[in-house]
Amino acid sequence: MIRRPFLFVSLLLAGGCVSLVPYERLIAEVPPERLLSIDGVRVYVEDRGVGEPVLLVHGFGGSSYSWRDVVQELATDFRVVAVDLAGFGLTERPRRKRDYSRFAQGERLIGVLDALGIERTHLVGHSYGGSVSVALAVRRPERFLSLTLVNSAAPDYPQLRRSRWSALRPLTQLFVRVRSLRRANVEEGLRRSAADDSIVTDELVDEYWRRLTVEGSPRAFLHAAAASTRSP
């Protein structure tokens, strides 16, 4: 008799693992000024426009690319800063679990503001980025002019929702690599999120997928989902 865990792993492996690109190759053509070293982590930052600053924080599995149209519109009147959180987009995938807590993600955003010479800013967070933003705004209110949440998660999400999966670390990482990071799955997620299917082009799917299939992403997804909301 085949046990269920063995069968589950066998089915996952049968689907084939997605190939992951080394981080150094991913950032090979990124302008050096867009990568800031914050607490030992290389953080990708887009900084456009002039005026009152606005900091944009993306959701789980997203990146600053998710804000591309918003950045273009806001940059006509504001200084817009869009950041890739640790583990996502063009930002490095650190190995330590504590680098993915809401506290660490938030303090890294403060580090970006300090590096750019921004004392106070409007803060906009989407989904998982909203949970990071709420926790940060409560802890460091003196740094923000306003807080805007877009379909935000609660500050303790996704820890509560995914805590049981996080206990099965090897299986969860395997699932991410075999299922979650597949191009077809990324496309499906984008189509579920879009009111108009016509905007989900091959180019759009490829841009999201390219920023996900990076060495360290399965570990980063697990740590970001399971990391404690408490400060160290």
For the segment 169-204, what is each residue's pLDDT rounded down to a tens digit?
555 555 565 567 889 889 998 999 888 989 999 999
User: Mean pLDDT score of the chain, rounded to an integer?
Assistant: 85
d(CA 91, CA 210): 13
- Over pLDDT 90: what percentage of the chain? 66
pLDDT in tens, 35-92: 999 999 999 999 999 999 999 999 999 999 999 999 999 999 999 999 999 999 999 9
d(CA 100, CA 223): 6
CB 57 within 8 A of CB 63: no
Other CB atoms within a 10 A radius of the CB of residue 89 amount to 24
d(CA 110, CA 38): 9
* Token duo for residue 205: 């799917």
CB 83 within 8 A of CB 57: yes
- Confidence at 232, pLDDT banded by 50, 70, 90: very low
CB 86 within 8 A of CB 93: yes
Which one-letter amino acid corresponds to residue 199? I
Q: Say which DSSP state 213 is in.
A: S
- The lowest-confidence range among 13-22, 132-141, 144-153, 169-178 is 169-178
Sign of the alpha-carbon dihedral angle for 26, 30, 34, 39: positive
Is 83 or 16 the better-scoring residue by pLDDT? Answer: 83
| pLDDT of the residue at 18 | 77
Three-state DSSP class for residue 149:
strand
| pLDDT of the residue at 8 | 41
| pLDDT of the residue at 2 | 42
Domain ranges for the chain, please list them: 4-226
Is 115 or 195 the better-scoring residue by pLDDT? Answer: 115
d(CA 45, CA 38): 11
Q: What is the mean pLDDT of residues 18-29?
A: 93
| Length of the chain, in residues | 232
Strand intervals (E) in 21-63: 35-38, 41-48, 53-57
Environment class of 126 (CB within 10 Å of its CB; exposed 0-12, middle 13-18, buried 19+): buried
| pLDDT of the residue at 228 | 52
Cα–Cα nearest to 223, from 159, 135, 160: 159
Continuous segment of H or E residues that includes residue 125: strand 121-126
Fold classification of 4-226 (topology level): Rossmann fold (3.40.50)
pTM of the model: 0.85
| pLDDT of the residue at 153 | 86
Give the alpha-carbon dihedral of 212, 215, 218, 223, to 10 degrees: -100
Which residues are designated catalytic? 58, 127
Calculate helix-pair angle for 159-166, 217-226, nearest 10 degrees: 120
Sign of the alpha-carbon dihedral angle for 203, 26, 19, 214: negative
| Torsions phi, psi for 206 (to 5 deg) | -60, -40
